[in-house]
Structure 1
């Protein structure tokens, strides 16, 4: 079961009211940690998630994000039902990965509360994600459906998180860079410029470059190039598209520039890399 080494999903687990008789307030407490990320949607019931510094009440509509390596526990206080997706954030599709750079707190549980309509939409996405994950083999269509389903849940999480931050008046450098990352991941294959990003977020280009590099570790331009290289590798490995076509698809204005950047980043030509990595 699952999509093998190409996939980012580790497992998908559904939980529901326990089979033993449970009185109001008597839950099952489980404390543990794992080396993968977890995104849990609570559909019914109530309970608590805890970490060394947190105790968070959850109920129907709670979407909970737990980073890898964090020791945490949960307890059910009213019989609950939900679904947990365990995944590796370093291997998720590029378009969805922005949430796990700036603003991803590795020592805290993050939780948002969806309204009823968005809870239903998230559940549909989780169901589709599970359906694709259970397939024995993954093709390009399955990859895209998996990406879209997972990205829907991630975007919902990020939207509610941003609304909460805005309501609290906490729009700082971290949240600005988070918004910039979101835009880059959505448009890295286009002719997006640092000037355009800076203007949109009402900061100077120099200040954006400085803050972005401090938080992310590379400049915005280099970050976009890195994304283009990653997507180019995926297309080289998973499709039989011509290299010139891939060059244009990932955002390079000429195939010669793509070749130069690829050789510099990888140490071989796209054709040589494809020969070594094709399935």
Structure 2
């Protein structure tokens, strides 16, 4: 997980902190007892999206609140509050927030080369990559690790290592306790569908139509609409409107941009058109929403 907007702060040599209003991340150097922990962080915004990528370590994501989706090598998974999502070394994956709920995601990158028995257990985890943290144990351990990394007190390095091992074992137990191998079935996405999702999240335009997408990706409108609904569970038009509303809310809440500037950024034809759209789908005018949700 990377965040272009993160700000770097000075930290002790055992960890580096990157922090902004959108993300907090600690990078852990590969030294002594931290050989297995690469990074840990949390993203804090409902327009989060990470494009397709892969790496040579395990990565765990935990959805504290909100809804979203992930793919692994084209297999599609929906996630919601309390869900764990795991990727293994070498697997191509991507993800995004979805819907208009507040979104908060914890993530952890790690390798297990010095813990071979535990590594074997992680490789045994099958295609069912989404599991629910029913008791909130994973979140509790994540929070404790963050607290220790922020403090500089005696033996906190040792405490972080102990919490990290507790987290790894707890995760394996949650996956192993799932007796039904198909609790949440994945759906295979075509390369076109993956490209379309990346395109929608990377450079959103309110004036984008289904016909525009179909033409750009050289597929028929009916096939696009059918495949999108089948895999994501919502019509593509509804997904585009939801994405537009999410981005508008984010800009109104998190920036000082004028309403007219936000309307132009999202490619509405006028501030009037943007205001009508926003009120129709949120129940409030842009200015009312900003007033109620920020101190600006």
TM-score, scaled relative to structure 2: 0.45
TM-score, scaled relative to structure 1: 0.47
